[in-house]
Every structure is written in C-alpha cells, then in structure tokens.
C-alpha cells in the first residue's frame, strides 16, 4: 500500500472544452470542493507535452492519485495510461460538451454538469487504490483437453504446436470419438472464385476425413500425453492451478496440474428409436445418417447394399430434419446445422458407387453452412442428386420396398416415392455433463418436496464429465437444450467457468470443419487464460485487470449470496462456510459486490465507496430550483459506450443527468439507489445489457441478477412515499445511439410531470 | 477525325416498307452527323429473333446468325458488327457466345455454312447501336454536336428487355439502367430516372399471339409515363417501339383510356437535336406524332 | 411424331429429368434449380402461367412428363430475360423454356390451340422461304390462323392500324408479291438444309434407342 496519498488533478481544455466551459470555474471546483491540492490545466493533455506534465508529477512523487478531467474514460486510453497510480476520469467532452447544445441559454446548466463531474471524479479518486495482483500466481503451461474426437485432437495438436504441453483424455479405447465412422467428410473448401468457364467448375467434392492423419500427429507429438479409456474423476483449483484426477484403464488414478482446460466432448447421435413414424427399428433398411456412414465405410467405395437382403441399392431417399426442428416430444427443437451437407455427401456416395442409383433428398429448408456451403449443394446437384422440397410424414415398409409418404411443397400435393433404402438425417445431442444449476437446485431446495422434484430432474441428467469440486456444481453451465453456455456473439469459447473453454458441438451443433476451427479458437483462449492467470490479470472482458474481490471477513454474515450468484462459480466456501474467492476464476464483474447486503466485498479500484461517494458529491439544488438531478448507472460494456457514441453523433441529453459507469449492472449495490434517493435525486436510470436467453450481458448473468434485485426497489420507493417511476431499469445495446439519450430525456420529462423529490436538503 | 466504320446488320423490320423502316432512316441521319459509316452486311438473313424456337431447333437457329457473322467476316474483316434491332443484336451475340463455348456445335455450323462456301471464324464483336453511342463515342462526343437542345421536353426512357438483359450496356444495372436518361440529359431534355416501367416487358412477339396479355403490360408502361408527366417515350428497340406505339387505339378501346403518347427511337432524338429536318429524323414515321419534336425540328 | 414420343417414354422410363437433360436445349441446367421461386416472381406473364418456371422444374424432377410437355405454360415466355438475370443459380431459364417448347413440338405434344406455338411456327416458316421475314405475309397468316371467319374479324379490328402503318411507310402492300429476300437464296437453303440434317442426326443419336 502506498504510504501517503498525493492527490492531483489535471484539466484538459482541448477539443473545445476550454471554449465551451469556464475552465477557471472548473479549476476552482477541483481545488475548493474536490480538495485536490494540485490542479493543473493543459490545452491538449493527451499530447506528448500533457502526458509528460502528468508523468513528471508521478515520477517526482507528487502524484499517487490522479484525476483527469478531459474526454471519456474510453478515449485516449493509450495516452492516459499510468499503471503505477490510481486514476479517475471526469468525462467533460463526450459527457458534457458533446452532449449539450451550445449557446447562452444552455450555458449555466452545462457548466453545472461539468462542475459535478469534477466533484465526482475528485471524490472517486480518494477511495481508489492501485490494483496489485495477489502475488500468489504461478505459470502452469500444461493444458488439459477432454475429449478424444477430432475436436479434442485438433485442440491438442494446436496447443502443442504453440509450445504448450497437453494431456488428452479420451473415454474410449481409440481416438476419433463420434467422427471415427466417417467414410468421407464434407469438403473443407469452397469453390474457387472467378474460375474461367463459370461458377460450377471445380466444385468441392467429398474428401478423405483426415482422421488417421490427425491421430498420427497426436501420437507422434512429444508434447501430447494421451490417456485412453480414461475419465476425469475430480477437477479442482482455478486457472493457472487446476488439478485433475484422471482415472485410467488399469484402475489407477493420476493427478496432474494444469493451467487451463478445453472441453471438446463433441456430441452424441440422436436416438432414432423416437421416430417410429419413419419405420426406424422395424426394418434395417431405415438408417440414421450416422449408421449409414458406417455402412458406407464398410462398402469402402464398392456398391452399397441393403442391410436387409444385401441387394444393391437402386434408389435411396434422405429425410432431412428427422426428429429435429420440431416441437414434438422427444424431438430436438433445434437445427443441427450439419445434416444437410452430410446428406448431400452421402447421396453423392450412391451416385458414385451405385451405377444408375436415384438419390433423392427430401428437404424443407436446405441449409448448407460451413466451408463448402452452397458450393457443395451445387456439387450434389451436378452429380444428379434429386432435391425435392417436401415434408416426409411416414415411411412404410412393404414387399421389400420402402414407401416414403411426403408432401411436395412446391407442387402442393401429397405424394409418395418408392425406394430401397431410407436415410434419416438426425441431429446432434451435445455431450455435456449435467447442468450445475440442476444440481444446485437439489442442494438448495428449501423443502423435501422440492428437493425430490429437483432430484428427479437431475436423475435424467447425464453423468458428470469434469467432476468440478466447485461450490456451484460439477460441470459447465448450460444455456439451453444441453449446450454449454457461452457468450455467443462476443466470446464464444468463454464458458461460465473461467479457464475452462468449450470447443465444438458442446457449444452449438456444427460440422467437422467448424468443430476443428472451434478447437483452434478455444485452445488459443485457453493459452491466453493460463498466461493471464500467471500475471494475476483477468480474462475476458476485463482483460488485464489486476483488481480482484477483497473481502472483509469480520463483516461477513455467511449469507452465501455471493457464492450462489457469481455467474462464474468463482467463489467456493471454506470449512467455516465463509466465501473463498478464487482470484483467477474471477472475471471482475462485481456481481458479488452487488449481491453483498453488508458491503464487505470490494475491488481496489471499484467499490461501494468509489461509486457511492461520486453520487454523494453531486451538487443537488433545492426543490424549487427547477433543476432536478437524475442518476444514471450505465454498464461500461454497452450503455456507457452507447452514450459516448450518441454524444459523438450529436445527440443531446438532459443537463440534469449525472452518468456513472459501472462494471456490470450486476455490481450495482442497492445502497447506491437508497443513498441517491436519500440525497435528493429525483430519478434513477439503470442501463444494463439484454438479459434473456439471447443475452448480451458480458458477464452472462449480471444484468439478470440486477433486474431481479431491483424488482424489489418499488417497495422501498413506496415506503419512502415516492413514485415508482423514479427508478427505471432499461436494457440498452451498444447500438442504441438514439435510444440511450432518449431514455434519459424521458426520465427528465417524467420528473417534470410528477414533480421534484421532497428529499432535498 | 477519321470515320468510324462498322459492319451493319439492319434486320428485317428495318427494310423499306417494314415496321421500323423509320428507325433506319433516323439511324442513317444520326450516323451521318456522328461520322459513323455503316457498311451493310451483304445478303444478310433473318436472325429468327426469339420466337423462332418452335420451328427452328438449336443448330438451324444458330446457323442463321452464323451465316450473317461469316458474311461480315468475309466482306468487312476487322469491323465490329452493329445491329439496331434489339432482337437481332441479342440473337447474333447469343449465337456467337454459344458457338464459342461449344466447339462441336461450331464444327457442325461450319459444315452447314460450307454448303454455300462460307466459314465462321467467330472473332467479331457484336454490338448494339446504343453501345456504339455510349461506349465507343461517349456522352461527351454526343453532346458536342447538339445544335437544338431538347429543352423543356420531358422524356421517359423506356429501355425494355433485350438491350438490357442478359447483356446490357456496360456499367448499367438490369433493374434500373440509366443510359437512356443520361442520353436525354445529354441532348438537353428532361429525363425521368425513376420511371418505374423502364424495364417492363411489352410482350415482345406475344403482342401478336396473345394481344390481350401484351396490351395489359403496354398499358402500364404508358400509364407510368403519363404519371411522370412525360411528353414522349424514347426506346432503343423496334419491338418495344411498335408494341408501345401502335396499339394505343386498341388499348383505349379496351380500357377506356385516352392515350396519345408518342414513342420515338433514340436516333430520332439525336437527329432532331443535331438540327436535322423532321423528315431526316423520320418523324413522319410516327403513327402518334411527336409534336414537341416536330416543333423543334421546324424551328 | 407419336412414334418418337413413345420411343422417348420407353427410353427414359425412370427419369424425365434425364430425358430433359439429354434432349432439351440447355436442359442439363434443370437439376441446378434450387427452388427459390425468383423466376416465377420475376416473370411478366407469371400470373397467366398454369405452372411458373419454378414449378415446371419441380415437375420435371417429379417425373410429370405429360403435364410439362403438354402445358401451355412453356409457350408463355416473352423472352424478356428477367428470370435469367435474376436467377441466383444463373440458369438460362428463357432458353430452357424455349427448349422445352421446341422439344414438345418435336414430339407432337403441343396443345392444338396454343396461339404462340402457331405463331412461332409461322414465323420460322415465313423466314425460311426467303431468308428474311415478310411482315405482311406473316401478319395475314396470323389473322387467318384460326380460320377464315375469325381472320376477317381480326383483320377488321386491325384495319385502322394497318392503314396507319401504310400511311407512315411502315407497311407495304407490295410485299405480298415477292418482297425482300436474300440474293443467294439457293445457298441459304442449302446451308439451312444441312444444319437441319446435322440437327436430326444428333437427335437420332440421343433419341430413340436402336431398333425402336
């Protein structure tokens, strides 16, 4: 800890700040009210000269806590990078002059805004310290890859190539997993572009699956240790210091330490026994796509014969979306994304191997994602595969023939076709462990009845794969349909267990090429994670942040809210049932801080005080001034940038709002809301990210937690005899450039309508 | 400036006493002014247009165009072929491309041509007159000769189908080609760039076999021109010109409309703007007189 | 013609698509249709088609041979090329329609009363006589294609138009006697005769199986 706090303020008058605002006044506020012993001005603080001005003070030991009043904290981050001191930023450019119209009529309120931001930043800095890592870190470069399929093997090979040792755990006697029956694979390339002679020249064709080659690479690599017939019986620790018990064939259990983990357990084929309408199970001539691939592999390029009587197949029908994209019980509600190209590939086997064979693909929507995509569809068409837009309703086996009944969706008629073989294009079921929250529901159920219900749900859950000894369950949390939850848009490999990365079809359904690409991405993230853990700095999205939750044990009431609500399962409980923070599992969102009713959790540079003191520092004019005050707590990931960008594009906001960025709405302490109401604020707007299944929250559950907690604020308001409209929670996206300012302006109008708060002093 | 020379394929409808003989006259006037020399392909034959497909199979149809190209290559070596009729241009160019792609068809074609001592090398670019104006000469050169700008005359540029699809004029879109609008502006007239029926089909040859269907489409083409306040319609295609101009009486009878919309060729516009007489501009070929142009030509 | 049709049915019993592929101009493209329907939506005469192009292509795959080859629809094409330029798969739809129409005509399956089929045949016959189209004769033939009585009616309806065309020099009654022609008519006929022979030979090769 720094011995003595030396506070210093720097006010930039560039970018029009000096012209639009009274800089002398700002200086006076910083000095007299902000109580900063040293306040300096510069016409271009982010320039070399301005930066030197600050750096010189720091180097001379005259500044340990600095307040910079200039542009948004999101601007000029390279110039204003002073890692050895604590720093706060007053947003005078985007937050004030760009958000307000020029002109005398607005001058007074605009200046008041700027004065307040100086007061706020000066208050904040007094409660910040320079974050330092705990010093308990170590570098462990070894990766654990769970899953011996193509995804897992790709992850292992990629990590090894990057110089990181790998243990590859495969629960089968051979490598290959769910991909090992592939006869050929859907091509990994698209058609060449701008080929002379037209777009249909040199279309991609089915390729060798590349399995043997990949296995050879894995086995030959000195950095990769393969465990066959192996299972993970226990995983504990955190990024940089995971420990896993691997039980192997012989009954022995090895314990190994890892820096990070990649889960690449792929998928399980859908159980087609749930499709009696397609005669599955009544005749061996109705097969799933997975079973047919095995048959094709056995044929190995020769004529493909019927399983029932060994007759050469002369006509085959592929039924797309079998047991998929349907709300029927036992069906998969989603599209598995690989089956259309898989069927095209398989239909092409017939065209190549069975002379004169008719191959018909019955589809509703033909979807061909992946590398070859549409080009592969054309490839199939060129090979004379018949594509019929039709919906199959039944398969009837009679007299050695199969009759496929379907509705032709183009000609709008019910019809049927006769064929020798039917292939059902069935889907992928993610091979994941049980959803930890299903298990948590058992642990936390208040009554025996509810416990029983939760147990029943858990009973049909799959067995654990990772066996994490986390407070929050044994495996990676799910989003829906059993797929691992990961931030779909921004950080797809990042799961809700820091340092454990999901690759391939455990994340979403996908084909081989996408799964292998996924493995590369997840492996790179895993490497980053273990390197970050060694430095004590955070993973996504606060990469490089050294702060971590500090915890005043003596104040803790063991309420368990933090351990339950942490979206990342970062907090275990010790023997005395106190929370045990695992620094490198933490993503620094502050959801624990927002959850804590007794305010004992804080970060060096972000705490109940750093925000609480800011909102208290605002000058609140009296009830008769016609100058209300609105507090806006805006998520730093989306809402705050949206406001910055709105200001950039010339949107104006009410001069009565004071915006404070927060790490996540999940970090919002209810005490800030009550403090603000008691301080005479007239309205409070909270802006967080979208929180449903298609959430945008960078911390997955933060925004949802906040909404839940804030749902009770209405009672507080009623108790205080205040209108419930005074507090509003909004989902704001980074693209809401018009809407975000409009929300604030609406609150100003609401206050005009319902009147000022009576709680002014 | 040296004269530009082209090997000219006038087509059946341009012949004396045929339905677009007025087109030929205005083209000749226009080319005089632009110092373009048209050397008619000796003894050319019909291209079969796009309606010959019932009687003519692939090879006989292609051979018709092949004979014309072969004659051009024999008599006017090195000269690009230019056609004024959209269907002639399209058929000839399509044939050339098909024969270029399919060597066995080309060989068969040459076997047939050999019967008359002809041989197709198939190396000649085949252009529409609009391409010559816009791509070879350019708007600037076209503007330089304007003596009587078409001031105050509002003209709907009706491009139609076959000069636009599938080949079209370089740089233009299929959905909203603007070259006629640019041409109108070049000549000092008022264009209607958002004329929404500019690429609507007029029915083509089905005007003869399915007149009700064709005339319903023509009605839309004329109506939209009136909606935009057009004084007249300009077109680059003889079938378009014929279909849109000559059935207006019948359309008026069927639909109770009062259409009297003149439909002229671009070449007529150029001839008038270049200061030539109504006769040279073939304005006397209009069944619905283009009064604004008549007045300007008389000035 | 009936014989050829029977032979083709026999030969391609299983697959009309293969028959189209082998015998129809540009027919090898039919398999590449992806059923998006842009062609049907782009056709200026779309609303008059019993089966718009998208459906025709599906019917070919579904083996609906008679329904396709006897349809009026394939004669509904104005050659506007809208479908061609819009087709995301770049199918030459206009040419396929013409090809199907021509194939139907070869097999003798054209609906008897289809006006465009008649007119298209007349146009071809007309130009074959002198190497150039005689618009007057073509027009007269058109008027009388449904018989003499009907022809007078149509001619009367178009009388005013004819007068206007004549007055503006765009129709010439003298064309009824002689009219424009290529000079080397003999050579022209020889070339076209040879082309027809070669075409027939190629069809024979694809067409009915030996001995049929």
Q: Quick check: B3 pLDDT over 90?
A: no
CATH code for the domain in which residue B26 is found:
1.20.1050.140
- A358 with C14: Cβ contact below 8 A: yes
Alpha-carbon Rg of chain B, whole angstroms?
19
Tell me the pLDDT tens digit for each residue of B84-97. 999 999 999 999 99
Closest CA to A446 of A454, A438, A458, A436: A454
- B118 with C118: Cβ contact below 8 A: no
| Shortest Cα distance, chain B CAs vs residue C176, angstroms | 11
Tell me the pLDDT tens digit for each residue of A669-693. 999 999 999 999 999 999 999 998 8
Mean predicted confidence (pLDDT) in A259-278: 97
Alpha-carbon Rg of chain A, whole angstroms?
31
B108 pLDDT band (50/70/90 cuts)? very high
Give residue A96's pLDDT.
Answer: 98
Mean predicted confidence (pLDDT) in B21-47: 97
- C90 with A366: Cβ contact below 8 A: no
Chain C, 76 to 105: residues with Cβ < 8 Å from chain A are 89-90
- Measured CA to CA, the distance from residue B163 to residue B198 in angstroms comes to 12
Give residue C208's pLDDT.
Answer: 52
- B115 with C164: Cβ contact below 8 A: no
What spatial distance separates the first Cα and last Cα of chain A, rounded to whole Å?
Answer: 37
- C58 with A388: Cβ contact below 8 A: yes
B139 inside domain: no
A16 pLDDT band (50/70/90 cuts)? very high
Give residue C14's pLDDT.
Answer: 67
Mutation target to probe the C interface, by most C beta carbons within 10 A, among B206, B207, B251 is B206
Mean predicted confidence (pLDDT) in A305-325: 97
For residue A386, the chain C residues in CB contact (below 8 A) are 17, 31, 61
Percent of chain A whose pLDDT exceeds 70:
99
CATH code for the domain in which residue A150 is found:
3.50.50.60
**Which H, E and C letters describe A645-692, residue by residue?**
HHHHCCCCCCCCEEEEEECCHHHCCHHHHHHHHHCCCCEEEEEECCCC
What is the pairing mode between strands A315-319 and A428-430? unpaired
| Shortest Cα distance, chain C CAs vs residue A70, angstroms | 53
* Same domain, yes or no: A274 and A421: yes
Q: What DSSP state is assigned to residue C145? A: T
Mutation target to probe the B interface, by most B beta carbons within 10 A, among C46, C75, C78 is C78
* Same domain, yes or no: A294 and A391: yes
Number of CB atoms found within 10 A of residue C202's CB: 16
Give residue C154's pLDDT.
Answer: 78
For residue C107, the chain B residues in CB contact (below 8 A) are none
- Candidate from A366, A381, A410 with C-beta closest to C54: A410
Mean predicted confidence (pLDDT) in A164-181: 97
By C-alpha distance, the chain B residue nearest C146 is B209
Domain boundary (B64, B95, B129) is at B129
* Same domain, yes or no: B106 and B199: no
Mean predicted confidence (pLDDT) in B170-186: 96
Give residue A345's pLDDT.
Answer: 98
* Same domain, yes or no: B154 and B61: no
- Check if the beta carbon of residue A86 is closer than 8 Å to that of residue A129: yes
* Same domain, yes or no: B294 and B152: yes
- Candidate from A199, A384, A410 with C-beta closest to C35: A410
Among positive and negative, which fits the CA dihedral A581, A586, A591, A594? positive
For residue C90, the chain A residues in CB contact (below 8 A) are 198-199
| Chains in touch with A (≥3 Cβ pairs < 8 A) | C
Give residue A1's pLDDT.
Answer: 45
- C58 with A200: Cβ contact below 8 A: no
For residue C116, the chain B residues in CB contact (below 8 A) are 51, 205-206, 209-210
Give residue C211's pLDDT.
Answer: 38
Mutation target to probe the A interface, by most A beta carbons within 10 A, among C50, C58, C92 is C58
* Same domain, yes or no: B155 and B229: yes
B239 inside domain: yes
- A386 with C17: Cβ contact below 8 A: yes
Tell me the pLDDT tens digit for each residue of A532-544. 999 999 988 898 8
Query: For chain A, what's the residue count?
Result: 761
B232 inside domain: yes
Q: Quick check: A526 pLDDT over 70?
A: yes
Mutation target to probe the C interface, by most C beta carbons within 10 A, among A358, A364, A385, A411 is A411
DSSP B89-124: HHHHHHHHHHHHH-HHHHHHHHHHHHTTT-------
A517 inside domain: yes
Domain boundary (B98, B129, B160) is at B129
| Shortest Cα distance, chain A CAs vs residue C80, angstroms | 23
- Candidate from A198, A384, A411 with C-beta closest to C62: A411
* Same domain, yes or no: A121 and A151: no
Residue C65: enclosing H or E segment and its boundaries?
Answer: helix C65-69
A200 inside domain: yes
SS3 content of chain B, % helix, strand, coil (to 5): 45, 10, 40
| Shortest Cα distance, chain A CAs vs residue C31, angstroms | 6
A213 inside domain: yes
DSSP A84-145: TSEEEEEE-IIIIITTS--SHHHHHHHHHHHHHHHHHHHHHHHT-------S-------EEE
Mean predicted confidence (pLDDT) in B171-191: 97
For residue C78, the chain B residues in CB contact (below 8 A) are 161, 201, 203-206, 214
Give residue A444's pLDDT.
Answer: 79
- Measured CA to CA, the distance from residue C27 to residue A746 in angstroms comes to 64
Q: Quick check: A490 pLDDT over 90?
A: no
- Candidate from B18, B63, B109 with C-beta closest to C170: B18
Among positive and negative, which fits the CA dihedral C78, C79, C84, C86? negative
- Candidate from C94, C168, C187 with C-beta closest to B284: C168
- Candidate from B55, B285, B287 with C-beta closest to C125: B55
| Shortest Cα distance, chain C CAs vs residue B244, angstroms | 13
Mean predicted confidence (pLDDT) in A121-143: 91
Give residue C60's pLDDT.
Answer: 95
Fold category of C2-111 in CATH: Fumarate Reductase Iron-sulfur Protein; Chain B, domain 2 (1.10.1060)
* Same domain, yes or no: A295 and A368: yes
Among all chains, which residue has been given the structure tokens 């509904």?
A: C76
Structural domain span for residue A82: 1-130
**Phi (first) and psi of residue C143, to 5 degrees:** -60, -35
Judge if pTM exceeds 0.90: no
A589 inside domain: no
- Per domain, the residue ranges of chain C are 2-111, 115-195
| Chains in touch with B (≥3 Cβ pairs < 8 A) | C
By C-alpha distance, the chain C residue nearest A360 is C61
Give residue A138's pLDDT.
Answer: 85
Give residue C140's pLDDT.
Answer: 76
**Phi (first) and psi of residue A418, to 5 degrees:** -105, 135
Please count the residue pairs, one from chain A and one from chain C, whose beta carbons lie less than 8 angstroms apart.
39
Mean predicted confidence (pLDDT) in A64-80: 97
In this complex, is the C-beta atom of C26 within 8 Å of any C-beta atom belonging to chain A? no
For residue A198, the chain C residues in CB contact (below 8 A) are 90
Chain B, 195 to 234: residues with Cβ < 8 Å from chain C are 199-201, 203-206, 208-210, 213-214, 217
In this complex, is the C-beta atom of C70 within 8 Å of any C-beta atom belonging to chain A? no
Residue A564: enclosing H or E segment and its boundaries?
Answer: helix A561-565
Under-50 pLDDT residues of chain C:
209-212
Mean pLDDT of all residues belonging to chain A: 95
What tokens does B94 get? 């399509």
Mean predicted confidence (pLDDT) in A272-277: 96
Give residue C146's pLDDT.
Answer: 74
B141 inside domain: no
Percent of chain A whose pLDDT exceeds 90:
89
Structural domain span for residue B80: 4-129
* Same domain, yes or no: B112 and B22: yes
Domain total in chain A? 4
* Same domain, yes or no: A16 and A28: yes
Query: A635 has which bridge partners?
Result: A662
Chain A, 355 to 414: residues with Cβ < 8 Å from chain C are 358, 366, 377-378, 381-382, 384, 386-389, 408, 410-411
Domain total in chain B? 2
B138 inside domain: no
């Amino acid at each position: 800890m720094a011995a003595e706090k030396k506070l210093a303020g720097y006010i930039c008058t560039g970018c029009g700040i000096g012209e639009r605002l009274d800089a002398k006044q700002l200086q006076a506020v910083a000095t007299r009210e902000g109580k900063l012993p040293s306040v300096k001005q510069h016409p271009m603080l982010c320039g070399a000269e301005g930066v030197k001005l600050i750096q010189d003070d720091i180097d001379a030991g005259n500044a340990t806590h600095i307040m910079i009043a200039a542009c948004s904290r999101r601007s000029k981050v390279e110039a204003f990078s002073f890692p050895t001191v604590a720093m706060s930023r007053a947003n005078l450019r985007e937050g004030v002059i760009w958000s307000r119209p020029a002109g005398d009529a607005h001058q007074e309120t605009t200046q008041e805004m700027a004065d307040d931001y100086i007061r706020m930043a000066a208050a904040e800095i007094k409660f910040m310290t320079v974050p330092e890592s705990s010093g308990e870190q170590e570098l462990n470069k070894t990766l654990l890859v769970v899953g011996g399929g193509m995804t897992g093997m790709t992850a292992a090979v990629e990590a090894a190539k990057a110089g990181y040792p790998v243990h590859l755990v495969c629960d089968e006697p051979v490598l290959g997993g769910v991909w090992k029956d592939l006869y050929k694979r859907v091509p990994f390339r698209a058609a060449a572009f701008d080929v002379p002679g037209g777009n249909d020249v040199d279309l991609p064709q089915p390729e060798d699956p590349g399995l043997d080659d990949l296995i050879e690479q894995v086995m030959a690599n000195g950095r990769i240790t393969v465990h066959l017939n192996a299972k993970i019986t226990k995983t504990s620790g955190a990024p940089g210091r995971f420990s896993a018990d691997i039980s192997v064939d012989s009954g022995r259990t090895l314990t190994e330490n890892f820096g990070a983990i990649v889960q690449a357990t792929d998928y399980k084929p859908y159980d087609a026994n749930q499709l009696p309408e397609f005669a599955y199970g009544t005749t061996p001539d109705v097969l799933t796509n997975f079973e047919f691939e095995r048959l094709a592999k056995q044929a190995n390029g020769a004529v493909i014969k019927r399983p029932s009587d060994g007759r050469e197949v002369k006509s085959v029908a592929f039924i797309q979306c079998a047991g998929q994209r349907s709300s029927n019980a036992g069906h998969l509600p989603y599209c598995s994304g690989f089956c259309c190209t898989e069927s095209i590939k398989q239909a092409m086997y017939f065209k190549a191997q069975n002379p004169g064979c008719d191959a018909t693909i019955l589809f509703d929507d033909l979807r061909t994602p992946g590398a070859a995509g549409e080009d592969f569809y054309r490839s199939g068409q060129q090979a004379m595969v018949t594509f019929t837009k039709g919906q199959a309703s039944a398969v009837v086996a009679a007299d050695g023939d199969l009759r496929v009944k379907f509705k032709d969706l183009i000609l709008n008629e019910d019809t049927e076709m006769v064929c020798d073989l039917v292939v059902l294009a069935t889907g992928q079921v993610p091979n994941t462990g049980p959803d930890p929250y299903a298990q948590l529901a058992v642990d936390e159920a208040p009554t025996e009845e509810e416990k029983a219900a939760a147990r029943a749900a858990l009973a049909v859950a799959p067995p654990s794969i990772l066996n994490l000894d986390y407070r929050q369950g044994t495996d990676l949390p799910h989003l829906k349909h059993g797929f691992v939850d990961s931030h779909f848009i921004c950080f797809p490999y990042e799961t809700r267990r820091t340092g454990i990365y999901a690759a391939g079809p455990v994340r979403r359904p996908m084909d081989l090429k996408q799964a292998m690409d996924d493995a590369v991405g997840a492996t790179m993230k895993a490497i980053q994670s273990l390197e970050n853990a060694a430095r004590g700095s955070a993973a996504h999205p606060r990469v490089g942040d050294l702060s971590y939750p500090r915890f005043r044990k003596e104040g803790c009431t063991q309420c368990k809210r933090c351990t339950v609500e942490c979206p990342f399962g970062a907090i275990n409980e010790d023997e005395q049932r106190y929370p045990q923070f695992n620094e490198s599992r933490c993503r620094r969102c502050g959801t624990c801080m927002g959850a804590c009713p007794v305010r004992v959790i804080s970060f060096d540079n972000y705490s109940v005080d750093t925000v609480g003191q800011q909102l208290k520092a605002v000058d609140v004019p009296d009830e008769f001034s016609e100058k209300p005050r609105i507090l806006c707590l805006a998520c730093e990931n989306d809402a705050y940038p949206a406001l910055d960008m709105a200001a950039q594009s010339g949107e104006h906001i009410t001069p009565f709002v004071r915006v404070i960025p927060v790490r996540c709405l999940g970090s919002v302490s209810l005490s800030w809301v009550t403090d603000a109401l008691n301080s005479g604020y007239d309205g409070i707007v909270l802006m967080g990210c979208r929180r449903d299944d298609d959430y945008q929250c960078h911390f997955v559950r933060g925004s949802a937690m906040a909404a839940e907690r804030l749902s009770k604020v209405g009672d507080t308001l009623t108790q205080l005899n205040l209108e419930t409209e005074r507090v509003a929670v909004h989902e704001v996206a980074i693209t809401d450039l018009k809407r975000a300012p409009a929300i604030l302006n609406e609150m100003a109008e609401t206050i005009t309508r319902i009147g000022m708060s009576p709680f002014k002093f | 400036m040296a004269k530009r020379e082209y090997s000219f394929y006038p087509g059946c409808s341009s012949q004396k006493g045929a339905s677009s003989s007025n087109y030929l006259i205005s083209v000749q006037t226009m080319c005089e002014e632009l110092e373009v020399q048209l050397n008619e392909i000796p003894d050319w034959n019909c291209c079969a247009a796009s309606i010959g497909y019932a009687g003519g199979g692939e090879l006989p149809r292609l051979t018709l165009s092949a004979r014309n190209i072969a004659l051009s290559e024999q008599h006017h070596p090195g000269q690009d072929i230019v056609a004024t009729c959209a269907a002639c241009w399209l058929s000839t160019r399509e044939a050339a491309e098909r024969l270029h792609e399919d060597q066995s068809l080309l060989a068969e074609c040459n076997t047939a041509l050999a019967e008359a001592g002809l041989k197709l090398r198939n190396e000649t670019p085949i252009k529409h007159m609009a391409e010559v104006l816009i791509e070879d000469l350019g708007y600037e050169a076209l503007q330089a000769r304007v003596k009587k700008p078409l001031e105050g005359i509002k003209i709907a540029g009706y491009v139609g189908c076959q000069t636009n699809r599938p080949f079209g004029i370089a740089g233009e879109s299929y959905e909203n080609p603007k070259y006629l609008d640019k041409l109108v502006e070049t000549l000092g007239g008022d264009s209607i760039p958002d004329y929404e029926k500019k690429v609507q089909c007029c029915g083509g040859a089905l005007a003869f076999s399915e007149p009700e269907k064709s005339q319903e489409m023509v009605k839309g083409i004329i109506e939209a021109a009136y909606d935009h306040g057009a004084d007249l319609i300009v077109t680059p295609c003889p079938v378009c010109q014929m279909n849109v101009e000559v059935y207006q009486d019948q359309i008026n009878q069927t639909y109770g409309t009062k259409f009297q919309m003149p439909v002229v060729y671009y070449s007529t516009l150029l001839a008038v703007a270049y200061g030539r007489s109504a006769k040279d501009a073939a304005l006397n070929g209009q069944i619905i007189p283009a009064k604004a142009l008549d007045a300007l030509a008389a000035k | 013609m009936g014989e050829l049709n029977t032979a083709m049915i026999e030969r391609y019993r299983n697959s009309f698509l293969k028959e189209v592929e082998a015998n129809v101009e540009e027919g090898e493209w039919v398999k590449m249709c992806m059923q998006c329907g842009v062609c049907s939506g782009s056709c200026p005469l779309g609303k008059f088609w019993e089966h718009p192009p998208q459906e025709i292509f599906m019917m070919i795959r579904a083996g609906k041979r008679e329904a396709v080859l006897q349809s009026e629809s394939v004669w509904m094409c104005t050659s506007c090329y809208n479908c061609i330029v819009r087709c995301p798969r770049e199918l030459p739809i206009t040419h396929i329609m013409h090809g199907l129409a021509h194939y139907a005509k070869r097999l003798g399956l054209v609906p008897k009363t289809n006006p465009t089929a008649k007119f298209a045949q007349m146009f071809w016959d007309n130009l074959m006589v002198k190497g150039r189209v005689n618009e007057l004769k073509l027009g007269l033939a058109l008027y009388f294609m449904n018989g003499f009585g009907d022809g007078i009616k149509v001619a009367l309806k178009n009388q005013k138009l004819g007068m206007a065309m004549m007055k503006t020099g765009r129709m010439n009654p003298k064309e009824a006697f002689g009219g424009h022609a290529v000079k080397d008519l003999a050579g022209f006929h020889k070339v076209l005769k040879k082309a027809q022979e070669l075409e027939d030979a190629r069809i024979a090769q694809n067409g009915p199986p030996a001995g049929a």
